Structure 1
Amino acid sequence: MLRIGVSGMHGSADMVICGWRDGRPGRLRTGVKLVFEAGGVVPRLPGLRTGTRIARGAEAVARELRDGVDVVLTAPGDPASVVVAAGMWHYGWTAEDVGALAGATVAGLALAGQRAPCVMEIRRDGGAALDGEVKADAVLAFLAARFRAGRYPTPVVTVLLDSVRLSQEAPYRVRIAPCAGEPAHVR
C-alpha cells in the first residue's frame, strides 16, 4: 500500500509520500519521500538526499524517486502528477498501466482539492481511498469542474470522467474505484 498525505506547512506546497513493500518477496521496507514545489520553503533535513534539479511532470518526479532522491523539488503543474509519480515509483507503473495511471490521476486531483489535512491510500490497481474531512459528492463536484469535455488529459494518461466512481465508505473516508483512461497520445 502507498500512502500520500499533505502536511499543510505554511509557505510550501508539499506532499509526504510514505511507501512500503506489500505482498512482494523480500524484506519489508518503509520510507518517507518529500516532494516540495520549487519556490516554497524546503527545510534542512539532515540524512535525507535532496535533488538538485527541478522535476517537471510525473515521469521526472518518478525518475528522481527511483534514483534514490528523498526530497524532490517540482515545478508547478498538474496537481495530480505527484500522486501519479509516486505510483510509478512505488509500483513500477509504465505507460501500459493506463487504468492505474488514470486512477492515480483522479486520486491526485481529489487530494489536491482538499483544504484540510488528509491522507490518500493508493493501491496497485490505481484504486484509492481518501481519509479526512471529505464527502464523496463534494469530491465528485470538484473533479467534474476540472474535466473539460468529460476528459482530463495529462502527459501520461487521459482520464474519462464517466469512469470515475466514488463512494462514501465511512463518515471520513471516500473510496475511489479504479478508472478507465486512454494513453496520453490518444485524443
Structure 2
Amino acid sequence: MLRIGTWRSAGSLGMVVCGWHDGDPGPLETGIKLIYGMGGPMPDFPGLRVGALMATSAEEISEALFQGIDVVATAPDCCPSAPVVAAGMWHYGWTGSHSGALAGATVAGLVMAAQPGPCAVEIHRDGRSSLDGDVRAETVRARLAGTVPLESVRLSQEAPSRLLITPC
C-alpha cells in the first residue's frame, strides 16, 4: 500500500509520499518523498536531493522519483491529480496499460486537492484507495461531475470521514 498525506502551508500544497512494498518478495523498503506544489519560494531541505526543474506532469514527477530525487517541485499549472498518479507510477510501476489503477489514482488526487485541510489517502496496487479527511461521497460526485467519467470509479462512504474509491 502507498500512503500519501497533505498539509497546507502559506504559498504551497505540500504532499508527503511514503512508500513501501506490499507483499512483494524481497526486503522491505520504506521511503519518504516530498512533492511540493510551488506557490512561493522553495524552503531549505537539508540532506535531501531536490530536483532542479519544476515538473509539469505525472510523468515528469514519477521520472524524478525514479531518479532518486527526494523533493520534486511542481509547476503552478500542474494537474492537481498528477502527484498522486506519479506516486503510484513510481511505487507500483504503473504504465498506460494500468488504466483502472490510473483512474482510481486520478480521482483520489483530484479529491485530495479539493480538501480544505490536511488529509491522507491510501492507494493500493489495483488503484483502490481510501481517503481520510472531511470528505463526503455526494460532495465528491458533485465536484467531479463533468471532469471525470464517474462510471470509471465507484465512490462509497466507509465512515463519516473515510471515502472508498474503487476503479470499475
Match of 2:107 in 1: 106
Match of 1:40 in 2: 40
When normalised by structure 1's length, the TM-score is: 0.84
> In 1, are the aligned partners of 2:61 and 2:83 still within 8 Å (CA)?
yes
> In 2, are the aligned partners of 1:100 and 1:124 still within 8 Å (CA)?
yes
Question: Aligned with 2:47: secondary structure?
Answer: coil
Match of 1:121 in 2: 122
When normalised by structure 2's length, the TM-score is: 0.93
Which amino acid in 1 is paired with 2:162? R
- With over 3 angstroms needed to count, the CA separation of the structure-2 counterparts of 1:105 and 1:58, relative to structure 1, is same
Shift of the alpha carbon at 1:77?
2.0
Question: Could you tell me how far apart the structure 2 residues matched to 1:47 and 1:22 are?
Answer: 27
Shift of the alpha carbon at 1:39?
4.1
Instruction: Report how many aligned residue pairs link the two structures.
Output: 167
Question: Could you tell me how far apart the structure 2 residues matched to 1:38 and 1:141 are?
Answer: 28
Shift of the alpha carbon at 1:111?
0.7
Match of 1:80 in 2: 81
> In 1, are the aligned partners of 2:154 and 2:166 still within 8 Å (CA)?
yes
Query: Unaligned stretches of 5+ in structure 2?
Result: none
> In 2, are the aligned partners of 1:12 and 1:42 still within 8 Å (CA)?
no
Question: Could you tell me how far apart the structure 2 residues matched to 1:121 and 1:58 are?
Answer: 18
Question: Could you tell me how far apart the structure 2 residues matched to 1:34 and 1:40 are?
Answer: 16
Q: Tell me whether 1:70 sits opposite 2:70 in the alignment.
A: yes
How far does the alpha carbon of each residue in 1:1-22 deviate from its partner, in whole angstroms, 9 at most, with x for none? 1111111122212211111111
Question: Could you tell me how far apart the structure 1 residues matched to 2:41 and 2:14 are?
Answer: 9
> In 2, are the aligned partners of 1:4 and 1:119 still within 8 Å (CA)?
yes
> In 2, are the aligned partners of 1:13 and 1:40 still within 8 Å (CA)?
no
How far does the alpha carbon of each residue in 1:148-181 deviate from its partner, in whole angstroms, 9 at most, with x for none? xxxx4xxxxxxx22233111101210100114xx
Shift of the alpha carbon at 1:104?
0.6
Match of 2:10 in 1: 10
Which amino acid in 2 is paired with 1:7? W
How far does the alpha carbon of each residue in 1:72-91 deviate from its partner, in whole angstroms, 9 at most, with x for none? 01112211111000000000
Provide the identity percentage. 57
Shift of the alpha carbon at 1:30?
1.3
Question: Could you tell me how far apart the structure 1 residues matched to 2:63 and 2:40 are?
Answer: 21
Supply the RMSD in Å over aligned alpha carbons: 1.3
> In 2, are the aligned partners of 1:49 and 1:71 still within 8 Å (CA)?
yes
Query: Unaligned stretches of 5+ in structure 1?
Result: 153-159, 180-187
How far does the alpha carbon of each residue in 1:5-51 deviate from its partner, in whole angstroms, 9 at most, with x for none? 11112221221111111111122111111111234342211111100
